[in-house]
Amino acid sequence: MSDKNYTNPATIALHTGWRKDETTNSVTVPIHMTSSYQFDDADHAANLFALGELGNIYTRIMNPTNAVFEERIAALEGGVAALSVASGQSASTIAVQNLARTGDNIVASSHLYGGTYNLFKNVFSDMGIEVRFVDPSDPQNFANATDEKTRAYYGEVLPNPSFEVFPISEVAEIGRPLGIPLILDNTAAPIICKPFEHGAAITVHSTTKYIGGHGTSIGGVIIDGGNFDWEAHPERQPALNTPDPSYNGLVWVDAVKAMGPIAYILKARTTLLRDLGSAMSPFNAFMFIQGLETLNLRMREHSSNGQKVAEFLQSHPMVERVSYPGIATGQPKERAEKYLSGGNGGLQGFEIKGGIEAGKKFINSLEMVYHVANIGDARSLAIHPASTTHSQLNESELLAAGVGPGYVRLSIGIEHIDDIIADIEQALAKAG
């Protein structure tokens, strides 16, 4: 294992957490396709189960391949620990359930991916967890929706599909004096945004997207920034400050002090992941390790191509508006410049003239760009959110999320820019 602490993302993605296999000298991280692990003796097993020490028990909880991926992504984000799970939806779910119980609430941005919005609005409601949606353009909305049962704030760095950068430090600063952590979905902005540097406490990713980068594997990850004082407001965070019956009355903030500031992520691993079972396959963890190795380069190319496409669309007569951080004005521009560095990513959206029918014609006329319900692929992708990813939202919810009837979401890939623009241009011509 590598014990060096690298600071540059390009180096972290290739070297953190691994040097070689001590038995075979293999440079590539092995895929540990095993369900279980031999204990040294009865005392060793008992100590692991009692959290007297950390180690492998069962792959549903942890796995050596997954562990390298977790260490590497935590280092990239600037956090202290990470938990890999089966999907991005699992990551969002566990991140909230780790703090909120029946009768509690969180305050969330209304600008969310449609699947997350539905999870929060309907599934969490069935669980007895209320999610209060607010417009993130004014951070004070988070404070206004807060009460004594609010356990967390939640947002997306680059909300899908509005793509106006979330006011990270502004919302984090509202929550911290109250003992309320900010959980941020950073799926759309790995490398180019470091939420922990701006006050976020927890980040989540759908690793299916940019981290994987090639549309091959489903996964998610939760990263603990290690920068939030869970003990400062015990009445606000009872899940970490009161006896947990899952571990014979263990109090998480007290029990793990010797291990470092990992109470949040260790609780998530040893209770929710253990009991719900939404574990990431070691094979998928291996695929995400491969994705991390080129993530820095891909984000650079996604951002370069994304900027050029946005500028092309902005000047096109068939386009009413374009949503992209690199061409934003006013407050959205200020936030993009404050929170994004090294590029603005590959995600953008535009409202095509002619409404829903023109939007469908555009989608159906694409020849190279894929019509796919995904983002962050090396390939360029397009979709019509109102009829697909956000179809479960009503008209007012669609407008609140920034989705118009002719709105098209693009995930710009790493193909040659001339080929990307040529395909978009011919599809716009046919849509008109």
Return mean pLDDT, the chain: 94
Residue 35's domain is classified under what CATH number?
Answer: 3.40.640.10
Residue 160 binned pLDDT confidence (cut-offs 50, 70, 90)? confident
Predicted local confidence at residue 289, as pLDDT: 98
- Region 109-121: mean pLDDT is 92
For 248-293, the DSSP string reads: TTB-HHHHTGGG-S-HHHHHIIIIIIHHH--BPPHHHHHHHHHHHH
* Residue 111 predicted with pLDDT over 70: yes
Q: Is 288 within the bounds of a domain? A: no
* Cα dihedral: 46, 51, 53, 56 (round 10): 80
Predicted local confidence at residue 161, as pLDDT: 74
Q: Are both 263 and 200 inside the same structural domain?
A: yes
Q: Are both 411 and 310 inside the same structural domain?
A: yes
Q: Are both 217 and 242 inside the same structural domain?
A: yes
**Per-residue pLDDT tens digits for 28-75:** 999 999 999 999 999 999 999 988 888 999 999 999 999 999 999 999
* Residue 401 predicted with pLDDT over 70: no
Enclosing domain of residue 80: 9-283
Last residue of a domain, one of 283, 316, 338: 283
Q: Are both 211 and 341 inside the same structural domain?
A: no
Q: Is 194 within the bounds of a domain? A: yes
Q: Are both 324 and 412 inside the same structural domain?
A: yes
Q: Are both 217 and 247 inside the same structural domain?
A: yes
Predicted local confidence at residue 344, as pLDDT: 97
Q: CA 92, CA 119: separation in Å to the nearest integer?
A: 9
Q: Is 290 within the bounds of a domain? A: no
For the chain, the domain total comes to: 2
Last residue of a domain, one of 283, 317, 346: 283
Residue 354's domain is classified under what CATH number?
Answer: 3.90.1150.10
Residue 247 burial (C-beta neighbours within 10 Å; 0-12, 13-18, 19+): middle
Q: CA 332, CA 403: separation in Å to the nearest integer?
A: 17
Q: Are both 228 and 181 inside the same structural domain?
A: yes
Q: What are the phi and psi torsion angles at 370 (to 5°)?
A: -80, 140
Q: Are both 178 and 44 inside the same structural domain?
A: yes
Nearest residue to 325 (alpha-carbon basis) of 291, 302, 353 = 302
Q: Are both 336 and 251 inside the same structural domain?
A: no
Contact 95, 314 (CB under 8 A): no
- Region 371-398: mean pLDDT is 83
Q: Is 2 within the bounds of a domain? A: no
Q: CA 407, CA 409: separation in Å to the nearest integer?
A: 7
Half-sphere exposure of 195 (CA within 13 A, CB side): 35
Indicate the pairing of strand 381-383 with strand 370-371. parallel
Residue 393 binned pLDDT confidence (cut-offs 50, 70, 90)? low
Q: How many CB atoms lie within 10 A of CB 375?
A: 26
Q: How far is CA 371 from CA 351, 359, 366, 409, 416, in A?
A: 17, 12, 8, 10, 18
Residue 299 burial (C-beta neighbours within 10 Å; 0-12, 13-18, 19+): buried
Predicted local confidence at residue 384, as pLDDT: 86
**ω into 161 cis (within 30 of 0):** yes
Q: Is 373 within the bounds of a domain? A: yes
* Residue 227 predicted with pLDDT over 60: yes
Indicate the pairing of strand 347-352 with strand 319-323. antiparallel
Q: Are both 363 and 390 inside the same structural domain?
A: yes
Q: Are both 275 and 307 inside the same structural domain?
A: no
**Per-residue pLDDT tens digits for 337-358:** 999 999 999 999 999 998 888 9
Q: How far is CA 140 from CA 109, 121, 178, in A?
A: 12, 21, 14
Q: Is 323 within the bounds of a domain? A: yes
* Residue 143 predicted with pLDDT over 70: yes
Q: Is 89 within the bounds of a domain? A: yes
* Residue 404 predicted with pLDDT over 90: no
Query: Which residues are registered as beta bridge partners of 383?
Result: 409
Q: Is 227 within the bounds of a domain? A: yes
* Residue 336 predicted with pLDDT over 60: yes
> Is residue 363 within a helix (H) or strand (E), and if so which, with residue range?
helix 355-365
Last residue of a domain, one of 224, 254, 283: 283
**Per-residue pLDDT tens digits for 301-319:** 999 999 999 999 999 999 9
Distance of CA 250 to the CA centre of its chain: 29
* Residue 389 predicted with pLDDT over 90: no
Query: HEC profile for 197-239?
Result: HHCCCEEEEECCCCCCCCCCCCCEEEEECCCCCCCCCCCCCHH
Contact 342, 180 (CB under 8 A): no
Contact 158, 189 (CB under 8 A): yes
- Region 107-125: mean pLDDT is 94
| pTM for the model | 0.94
Query: Which residues are registered as beta bridge partners of 407?
Result: 351
Distance of CA 327 to the CA centre of its chain: 23
Residue 211 burial (C-beta neighbours within 10 Å; 0-12, 13-18, 19+): buried
Predicted local confidence at residue 390, as pLDDT: 66
* Residue 20 predicted with pLDDT over 60: yes
* Residue 394 predicted with pLDDT over 80: no
Minimum mean pLDDT range among 83-97, 158-172, 390-404: 390-404
> Is residue 364 within a helix (H) or strand (E), and if so which, with residue range?
helix 355-365
The single residue listed with the structure tokens 């407050």 is: 331
* Residue 128 predicted with pLDDT over 60: yes
| Residue bearing the bigger pLDDT, 257 or 181 | 181
Predicted local confidence at residue 63, as pLDDT: 97
Q: Are both 82 and 122 inside the same structural domain?
A: yes
